[in-house]
Amino acid sequence: MLAYIGRRILGMIPTLFIVSVITFIIIQLPPGDFFTTRAIEAAMSGGGQDKETVKKMQERYGLDKPLHVQYWRWISGFPRGDFGYSLEWNSPVLPIVLQRLGYTIQVGGLSLLFMIAVAVPIGIYSATHQYSFGDHALSLVGFLGLSLPGFLLALLWMFLGIIVLRIPVGGEFSKSMADQPWNLAKVWDYLNHLWPPAVILGLASTAQLQRIMRGNLLDVMGQQFITTARAKGLKEKKVVNKYGVRAAINPLISVMAMEIPKIISESTIVGIVMSVPTTGPLLLRALETQDMYLAGTFLLFMTLLLMAANLLADIALAWADPRIVYT
Amino acid sequence: MSKSEELFKLYEGLSDAREDLTPEALADEKSLDAIFAASQWQLMWRKFKRNKVAILGGIVVLLFYLAALLAGFIAPYTLEARFVKYIHMPPQRIRFFNDGKVQPFVCGVDLTIDENLRKHYIPNCDERFPLRFFAHGEPYKLLGLLETDIHLFQAPEGGIVSLLGTDRQGRDMFSRVLYGSQVSLTIGLLGVLMSLILGSVLGVVSGYYGGWVDDLMQRLIELVRSFPSIPLWMALSAAVPPHWPPERTYFAVTLILSLIGWTWLARQLRGKVLALRHEDFVLAAKMTGASDAWVIFRHLIPATFSHIIVVSTLSMPSMILAETSLSFLGLGLRPPVTSWGVLLKEVQNIQSIALYPWVFTPAVAIALLILAFNFLGDGLRDAADPYTV
ipTM of the complex, rounded to two decimals = 0.82
Whole-number pLDDT of residue B302: 81
Query: Residue A11: pLDDT band by 50, 70, 90 thresholds?
Result: confident
Q: For chain A, give the percent of residues with pLDDT over 90.
A: 1
DSSP A321: -
Question: Domains plus CATH for chain B?
Answer: 83-166 (no CATH), 176-383 (1.10.3720.10)
Alpha-carbon distances of B187 from B183, B320, B333, rounded to whole Å: 6, 7, 11
Point out the residue among A147, A155, A269 whose CB comes nearest to the CB of B230.
A269
Whole-number pLDDT of residue B62: 92
pLDDT above 80 for A240? yes
- Class of domain A94-320 as given by CATH: mainly alpha
Average pLDDT, rounded, for chain B: 79
Alpha-carbon distances of A150 from A127, A185, A255, B314, rounded to whole Å: 27, 29, 19, 18
Which of the given ranges, A82-91, A107-116, A287-296, has the highest pLDDT on average? Answer: A107-116
Which of the given ranges, A8-12, A50-54, B25-29, B138-142, has the highest pLDDT on average? Answer: A8-12
Which residues touch A153 (CB under 8 Å, ≥6 apart)? A200, A203, A204, A270
Q: What backbone torsions phi and psi does residue A126 show, to the nearest 5 degrees?
A: -60, -40
pLDDT above 60 for B291? yes
Range with the poorest average pLDDT among A312-321, B20-29, B35-44 = B20-29
Residue B65 to residue B373: CA distance in whole angstroms: 12
Q: Judge: B228–A306 Cβ closer than 8 Å, yes or no.
A: yes
Q: For chain B, give the percent of residues with pLDDT over 90.
A: 2
Residue A32 to residue A37: CA distance in whole angstroms: 7
Reference B304, options B345, B328, B270, B343; nearest CA is B270
For residue B370, list chain A residues with Cβ-Cβ distance below 8 A. Answer: 147-149
Q: What backbone torsions phi and psi does residue B285 show, to the nearest 5 degrees?
A: -65, -40
Whole-number pLDDT of residue B11: 54
Query: Residue B1: pLDDT band by 50, 70, 90 thresholds?
Result: very low
pLDDT above 70 for A235? yes
Burial class (CB in 10 A: 0-12, 13-18, 19+), A26: buried
Beta strands in chain A (DSSP E): 85-86, 91-92
Which residues touch B40 (CB under 8 Å, ≥6 apart)? B306, B386
* Residue B111: Cβ within 10 Å count: 13
Q: What backbone torsions phi and psi does residue B58 show, to the nearest 5 degrees?
A: -60, -40
Domain ranges of chain A: 94-320
Whole-number pLDDT of residue A128: 87
B147 torsion bin: left (phi>0), alpha (psi -120 to 50), beta (else): beta
Reference B265, options B223, B310, B299; nearest CA is B310
Reference A295, options A18, A40, A13, A29; nearest CA is A29
Cβ of residue A260 closer than 8 Å to a chain B Cβ: no
Q: For chain B, give the percent of residues with pLDDT over 70.
A: 87
pLDDT above 60 for B387? no
Q: State the DSSP string of B249-296.
A: HHHHHHHHHHHHHHHHHHHHHHHHHHHHTTSHHHHHHHHTT--HHHII
pLDDT above 80 for A5? yes
Point out the residue among A143, A162, A303 whose CB comes nearest to the CB of B350.
A162
Range with the poorest average pLDDT among B116-125, B304-313, B339-348, B374-383 = B116-125
Residue B381: how many CA atoms within 13 Å on its side-chain side? 12
- Locate the chain B residue with the closest alpha carbon to A211: B378
Q: Judge: B228–A27 Cβ closer than 8 Å, yes or no.
A: no
Reference B239, options A267, A272, A295, A60; nearest CA is A295
Is omega for the bond preceding B336 within 30 degrees of 0, making it cis? yes
* Residue B27: Cβ within 10 Å count: 11
The mean per-residue pLDDT over the stretch B325-346 comes to 83
Which of the given ranges, A65-69, A108-112, A274-278, B233-237, has the highest pLDDT on average? Answer: A108-112
Interval B109-167: pLDDT, tens: 777 777 777 777 777 777 777 777 777 777 777 776 777 777 777 777 767 777 787 77
pTM assigned to the model = 0.80
Residue B287 to residue A264: CA distance in whole angstroms: 50
- Please report which helix (H) or strand (E) contains residue B138, including its range: strand B132-142
Reference B73, options B161, B137, B155; nearest CA is B137
Query: Residue B33: pLDDT band by 50, 70, 90 thresholds?
Result: low
Point out the residue among B229, B241, B328 whose CB comes nearest to the CB of A31.
B241
Nearest-CA distance B201 → chain A (Å)? 24
Whole-number pLDDT of residue A110: 92
pLDDT above 50 for A25? yes
Among B221, B225, B230, most A C-beta atoms within 10 A, so best to mutate, is B230
Residue A177 to residue B58: CA distance in whole angstroms: 50
Cβ of residue A10 closer than 8 Å to a chain B Cβ: no
Q: Which residue has the higher pLDDT, B120 or B30?
A: B120
